[in-house]
Structure 1
Amino acid sequence: MTTMKMAAALGTVAVLGLAACSNGGTPHEAATEFAPDTEAEITFTWWGNDERAGWFEEALDLFNEEYPNVEVVRNFNPWDDYWTARNTEAAGQALPDVLMMDAGFLGEYADKGLFLDLGAYQGGLLDTGGYADTLLESGTVNDQLVGVPMGYNAWSMMYNKDLLDELGVPYPTDDMTLDDLEAYVLQVNQAGAAHDPKIYGASDYTGGFPGFIYSRMQEGEPVFTEDGAPAFDEGDVVDYLDSVADLRDNGDFYPVERTVALDPLGGFLGGEAALWFNFSTTVAQAMSDIGTENIGMVQAPTENGRHVLADHPSMLLSVAANSDEPDASAVLVDFLANSPEVKAIFGASLGAPPTDEGRAAVEQSTSDSVDFAYLDAIESEITESYPLLPSGYGSIEAKWGELHEQLLYGDIDTEQLAEELFSEMDMLLG
C-alpha cells in the first residue's frame, strides 16, 4: 500500500470517529415493487480512472433506459481522493445514496451505522438468489446486509509459464505442501542462477497481511474477533514469519533491493521471479505488466496440501443510511450488481461476476478465462466467508508491509516486527 493509501486509511479512522453516534441503518419499510416511471433523484459515487468512469456512464445510461425518471447524479474520484471525500461526508451524515465500497472499509463504516440494511430488499427489489451464501456473508455486518458484491476473487498462487519453460522447470501443482513450496523455490533458483538477470522462485511470501489471513484460515483460526480485536498474538505472527526463515536468511528469496528498484513491479511483475501470491483477479495485471498471456494459477500451498478457501469480494455496493430515496437506491444496486448488460460492459474488471448469468454475459479475455477457470476449479473448496476486516485495517496492512521491508533489510527481527505491529494495532483498534 502506498503512503497516500495509508494516509487515506488513517484519515478514515480519525474522521469516522466523529460519526460514531450515528443512528444509521434506520428501520425502513422496504418496497417490494418499483414502477419504471417512478420519479427520484439519487447520488452515486465510485473510485477509479477515466476508463472505469466511461463504463459506469454507459451502465447508468442503460439504467435510465429502464427507469427514465430516476436521475442519477454521478461522481467519481481516484482512490485516495475518494476516501477523503467519503470521510468528510460520513462525519456530516451526508454520504451519497449509493457508493462503491471496499472490503477493507465495509466493517468500519457499518459499525458506525452509516449503511442501510439491504436485507429487507432481498427477494423483492434486490435479487441475490444467484449469490453464494459465503459471498453474501462477506457483505454482512452485525447481521445486516450492508454491501452487495459486484464481483469476487480468491487467494491464489500464479506462475509465469514462459520463465518456467525457459528454465525447464515443471509447473507448480494445486496439492503442494509448504515443504514442497520451499523445495520448488530452491529448484527455480538453481535453474535460474545463470540467467542474466538471475531468476528467483519467489519474493518472500510472508510479506503481505492477506497471506497471513490465508494461513490463519488453513489452521481454522479466526483473524479478528467480532468486536474487531486481533484474534492472534505476537507469537502467531513470529511463527508465520519464521516459517520461511531459512529461505530468508540464506538469500533465497528475490532480493529486496531489486524489489525496491523495480517498484511498483517487483520480482514477478518484472519478469524475474516465477511465483506470485495474490487475489485471482490480479492475473489481468500480471499479463499486462509482464507482457505475456502465459500465466497459470493454482491454490497457494498449505501445511498438508488441503485448502480452506473463501470468496473475497473485490467491490461492493452500499446504500447510505441517510438516503432520502432508499427504494430507488436499492433498485440501482440491483441493476449494477445483476444486469447482464452491465456485466458485459465491465467484464471481470470488478472481479468475476458472482452469478452464473453474470459470467455468461462476459466476453472473456484470456485473463478472464484463467481467472474463471481457477474459480471454477476451487468452487468446492470455497467453504468460508472472507474475514470481516476491522476499522483501520488498511493501516494495519500497510504497517505489515512497511515492517516486513525493514525485516528484509535486517533492520529488525521477527519478534520486533510482531511487537511493533501490535503497537500499531493497539493504537488503531483501541
Structure 2
Amino acid sequence: MSRRIAASLAIAAAAALALAGCGGGGAAKPADVTFDKDTKAEISFSWWGNDDRAARFEQAIAGFNKEYPNVKVVRNFNAWGDYWTARNTEAAGHALPDVVMMDAGYLGEYASKGLLLDLTPYRENLLPLKGVADNVLGSGTVDGKLESVPLGTNAWSMMYNKDILDKLGIAYPTGDMTWDQLDAFIKKVDAAGASSDPKIYGAEDYTGGFPNFIYHLMQQKNPVFKKDGTPAFSKKDVISFLDSAASLRKAGAFYPIDRSIALSPSGGFLAGESALWFNFSTTVLQGMTDAGTENIGMVTPPLADGEKTHILAPKPSMLLSVSANSKQPEAAAALVDYLVTSPDVAKIFGTSLGTPATQAGRDAIDQQPADTVNLDYLDSISKELTASYPILPSGYGTIEAKWGDLHEQLQYGQITSKQFADELFSEMSLALGS
C-alpha cells in the first residue's frame, strides 16, 4: 500500500474517530480501589508491531499470569497503519480494547474525546508505577489526568549503515555535522554507490517526515504547537524547511520516490539501499533486522551553521492506556503496571519498546547489539536532552499523515513547497481548528 493511500485511510478513520464524541468516559474510581490477584477477569490488549514483538508480548503476558493466574488476556496486533484504522473504527463505537498501545501523536486526540480512562485514582494500589519518574509520566498526562503510561522513551537520531559505508570507503557521519556537510555527504555516497546493483544512495529526502520538522523548530528554539493545540509555526517555516533540501531533490540525489513507494513501508535504509535513516532511536532494532546487519551506528542529527549544541527531547516511544469503556479497568490497570515496571518484561523486550521507564528495567536488560547502540546513544546525548517533547494536539495523527502524503506529491513534482504549505494549513484548520 502506498503512503498516499495509507494516509487517506488514516484521515478517513480519523473522521470516524471524531464521531466518538465525549461519551463513554468512566466515572473516577476511589483512590483505594483494589483487585485481588485471584479474581477472574478477561481483558483485551492490542498493539502495533510485527511477529517478533508479538512473540515477546506472549512471554510478557505469561509472566503477568504468574501473578494474576485468573486474568485472561485476549491479544491482537496489527501493522502500524492497519492498527490505527482498526482503533479509530472501534473508538467510533466506544469499543476500544481494554488496554490500548498508544502513540504520543494520537494521545491528545483520543484523550480529548473521552476515550481513555484517567488512571490517577488507581495509583495508590493497582498502578503504583514504582520507579517511573514524574517527568516521564508527564508525557502521558493530559489536562492533569494520567491518560497513558510510557513504556519507554527514545530520542531523535540519525542512523547509518556501517556495512554500506565501509564497502564504499566513506567515513562515518558525526554528530557535529552541519546540514551543508550532510548534503555533501549524501552526494559523496551517491557517487560512490552509483555502480552498485542496486544503486546505493546517501539518504531518502530528510524533509519527508514531520518529526524532523519538529526537530528543526526546536533547534531554532521555536514552539511547535500552542496551548490551544493550534500550530505555533507559519507557512513560511514549512516552506523554508522544505526548500532547504530543494537542490538535492531537483538533482535526483535522494533515494527515488518510486522505489521508496514500491518498498513501502520499508524504504531505502531498511532495504539496505541507502546509508542514512532519520528516526527515533528505538527503531534501531528494526533497522538491524530489516537491513540484515548489526553494524548500525547512531549519531545526533545535523546542526545549522552557527549552532553549537543540539536541543533534544526524550519522547515516549509508546504508551499504554486503559479504555474508558473497559468493563474490567482494575485488571487492565494491573496489566499496565506489570508491563511498565517489571524487570522481567524489560529483559524480554530490551530497548525495542524504548529505553525502559525504570532503572530496574534498564539494569535487567541482557544487552543485544540494538540495545547497546540505543543505550549508548541516549547516554551520549544525556546532557543535550534539555527540552520537553511538544504536547501533540488532538488531530496530530492526521497532520503527520497529511505531511507524508503531500511530501510524496512534492517529490513527484506535482506540487510546490508553497502549495504544500497551503494544503497543510488547510488540513490543520480542519483537524486542529486553527
When the two structures are superposed, what TM-score results if normalisation uses the length of structure 1? 0.90
Q: How far is the alpha carbon of 1:333 from its aligned partner?
A: 0.9
Q: Pick the aligned partner of 1:363 from 345, 362, 366.
A: 366
Question: Match of 1:105?
Answer: 106
State the Cα distance separating 1:148 from its structure 2 match.
0.7
Does the CA contact (< 8 Å) of 1:134 and 1:310 recur in 2? no
- On the 8 A contact 1:12/1:392 being kept in 2, the answer is no
After superposing the two structures, state which structure 1 stretch, 145-154 or 257-266, moved more: 257-266
Q: Distance in 1 between matches of 2:254 and 2:87?
A: 40
Q: Trace 1:14-29 onto structure 2 (pairs within 5 A).
A: 14-22=15-23, 24=25, 26-29=27-30
SS at match of 1:269: coil
Report what 2:426 is aligned to. Answer: 423
How many residue pairs are counted as aligned between the two chains?
Answer: 429
Q: Alpha carbons of 1:276 and 1:73: their partners in 2 closer, same or farther (altered >3 Å)?
A: closer
- Percentage of matched positions with identical amino acids: 59
Summarize the Cα distance change of 1:134–1:9 in structure 2 as closer, same or farther, 3 Å threshold.
Answer: farther
Residue 413 of structure 1 is aligned with which of 406, 411, 416?
416
1:310 is the counterpart of 2:313: yes
CA distance in 2, matches of 1:373, 1:413: 40
**Mapping for residues 268-307 of structure 1, pairs under 5 Å:** 268-303=269-304, 304-307=307-310
Is the partner of 1:138 in helix, strand or coil?
Answer: helix
CA shift for structure 1 position 305: 4.1
CA 117–141 in structure 1, closer or farther in 2 if over 3 Å, else same = same
Q: Deviations over 1:297-350 (max 9, x none)?
A: 001012214111122222211112233443332222101111111222233332
Amino acid at match of 1:248: R
8 Å contact from structure 2 (residues 194, 200) kept in 1:
yes
Structure 1 residue matching 2:159: 3-state secondary structure: strand
Measure the CA separation in 1 of the matches of 2:263 and 2:283. Answer: 18
Please give the alpha-carbon distance, in whole angstroms, between the structure 1 residues aligned to 2:195 and 2:52: 42
Equivalent position SS for 2:97: coil
The 2-side partners of 1:130 and 1:266 are apart by 37
Q: Which runs of 5+ in 1 are unaligned?
A: none
Partners of 1:85 and 1:255 in 2: CA distance: 31
Judge conservation of contact 1:135–1:385 (CA < 8 Å) in 2: no
Q: Say if 2:108 and 2:395, in contact at 8 Å, map to a contact too.
A: no
Answer yes or no: is the 8 Å Cα contact 2:42–2:74 preserved in 1: no
Q: How does 1:180-329 map to 2 (within 5 A)?
A: 180-303=181-304, 304-329=307-332
Q: Does 1:336 align with 2:339?
A: yes
Secondary structure of the structure 2 residue equivalent to 1:384:
coil
One-letter code aligned to 1:164: L
Are 1:134 and 1:383, in contact at CA under 8 Å, matched by a contact in 2? no
Whole-angstrom distance in 1 between the partners of 2:191 and 2:93: 59
Distance change >3 Å, CA 16–CA 30, structure 1 → 2? farther
Deviation at 1:379, TM superposition (A): 2.0
Aligned to 2:72: 72
Deviations 1:374-409 (A, max 9, x none): 112112222233223233323322222222222222
Q: Is the 8 A contact 2:11 2:401 kept in 1?
A: no
Q: Give the secondary structure class of the aligned counterpart of 1:407.
A: helix
Distance 1:82 1:111 in 2: 20
**CA shift in 2, pair 1:317/1:65, >3 Å:** same
For residue 399 of structure 2, the aligned residue among 363, 372, 396 is 396
| Contact persistence 1:138–1:387 (CA under 8 A) | no
Equivalence for 2:173: 172
Aligned Cα root-mean-square deviation (Å)? 2.6
- 1:13 matched to which residue of 2? 14
SS in 1 for 2:390: coil
Q: What secondary structure does 2:247 align onto?
A: helix
Task: Please give the alpha-carbon distance, in whole angstroms, between the structure 2 residues aligned to 1:2 and 1:409.
Answer: 13
CA separation of 1:135 and 1:194: change in aligned 2, threshold 3 A: same
CA positional deviation for 1:236: 0.8
Distance in structure 2 (CA, Å) of the matches to 1:258 and 1:84: 25
Q: CA deviation at 1:235?
A: 0.8
Structure 2 unaligned regions, length at least 5: none
223-232 or 213-222: bigger deviation:
223-232
> Matched residues in 1 for 2:180 and 2:174: separation?
13
**1:267 match: secondary structure:** coil
- CA separation in 2, counterparts of 1:77 and 1:262? 22
CA distances 1:38-71 after superposition (whole Å, capped 9, x unpaired): 45444433344554444333322322221234x2
Inter-partner Cα distance in structure 1 for 2:428 and 2:235: 11
Q: 1:234 to 1:120 in 2, by over 3 A?
A: same
Shift, 1:197, TM fit:
4.7
The CA distance in 1 between the partners of 2:35 and 2:181, in whole Å, is 56
- After TM superposition, the structure 1 = structure 2 runs for residues 138-153 of structure 1, keeping only pairs within 5 Å, are 138-153=139-154
Paired with 1:259 and 1:48, the residues of 2 have a C-alpha distance of 20
| SS of equivalent to 2:160 | strand
Structure-2 change in CA distance of 1:30 and 1:320 (3 Å): farther
**What is the aligned counterpart of 1:354 among 357, 379, 382?**
357
What is the one-letter code of the residue matched to 2:279? N
Aligned to 1:382: 385
Shift of 1:214: 1.2
Instruction: Classify the secondary structure of the residue corresponding to 1:383.
Output: coil
3-state DSSP of counterpart to 1:385: coil
- Whole-Å Cα distance in 2 between the matches of residues 155 and 133 of structure 1? 21
SS in 1 for 2:386: strand
User: What secondary structure, in the 3-state scheme, does the structure 2 residue paired with 1:313 have?
Assistant: strand
Please state how far the C-alpha of 1:258 moved relative to its aligned partner: 3.9
Kept in 2, the 8 Å contact 1:314–1:351? The answer is: yes
CA distance in 1, matches of 2:27, 2:5: 34
More divergent stretch after superposition (182-191 vs 146-155): 182-191
Residue pair 2:130, 2:341 contacting (<8 A) in 1 also: no
* 8 A Cα contact 1:13 1:391, kept in partner: no
- CA distance in 1 between counterparts of 2:211 and 2:171 reads 27
